[in-house]
Structure 1
Amino acid sequence: MPQMLLIVEPIGQRAERGRADGEAVYQRMLDFAAELQAEGLLLGVNSLGSAAKRLAKRDGGAQVWDGPFAEAKEMVGGYFLLDTEDEGVAMAWAERCPAAEWATVEIRGVGPCYM
C-alpha cells in the first residue's frame, strides 16, 4: 500500500509567518517534492487551504459546519503520496521533509478502509 506523509500544522501559523517567509517555505516544499519525483516516489502532492467545511449525515439528514473549528489546534496542511509500501522508506523521507521543522509529519499507509 502507498504511504502518505500528512503535514499537520498549528492553526494560525501561516498568517503569523507572513507572505515572504511563506513563499520561501513553500519553495522548500516544492524542492522536496521535486526530489521525491526524481526518485520516482511521488504519486501526488498538494497544499491544503485553511478554510474548511465538515459534513455529517445522520438519521437521513445532513449537517454542515463551517470552519475554522474552535476546538481544533491543528490542521492538515498538505500531503505527499509516495509510491512505496515500505514504511521505513516513507519515514526516511519524512525526516527529510522541510515541514518537520515547523509541523508534524504523520506517516500513514493508504488502502481500503477495512484494513
Structure 2
Amino acid sequence: QGSIFYHDTSGCWTRVISDLRPDVAIVAMAGRPNIDGEPIQGSLTQFVGRMGSMLRPKQMYLGHHDDWMPPSTRDMSSEEALAPVRVELARVEPRVSLVSVGYMEGTRLLE
C-alpha cells in the first residue's frame, strides 16, 4: 500500500509537484530539464535533487539514465556516475534514499 510518482521527462511545474507526497518517486534523469517551462539554471544532478526536496519520497529511482540511445546518450547508472546525485540528494533532502536497480532487474516498489 502506498503511492508512486512516475516522471518520464526531466521537467516539472512546481505548483503541481510541491503538493505531492509519494512514498516512491521514479524521476527522469536525461536531457536538459525545465522548471515551470524554463530551462533549469543548473545541472541535471541539481534538478534531481530539487525533485527530491519537493516530493520528499522515502525512495527515489531514476529513469532514462541508462545508455538508451548510443552514441547520443551515455550510461549514467554506474555507482561512479550516480555519486554526485547521491551527494546532492543528501545535501538537499537527506531522508530520500536513492535506489539503484540493474537493467532488466525486477524490484518491488511498495511492500
- TM-score by length of structure 1 reads 0.28
Larger helix fraction of residues: 1
- Select the structure of larger CA radius of gyration: 1
Larger strand fraction of residues: 1
With a CA cutoff of 8 Å and minimum separation of 6, indicate the structure with the bigger relative contact order: 1
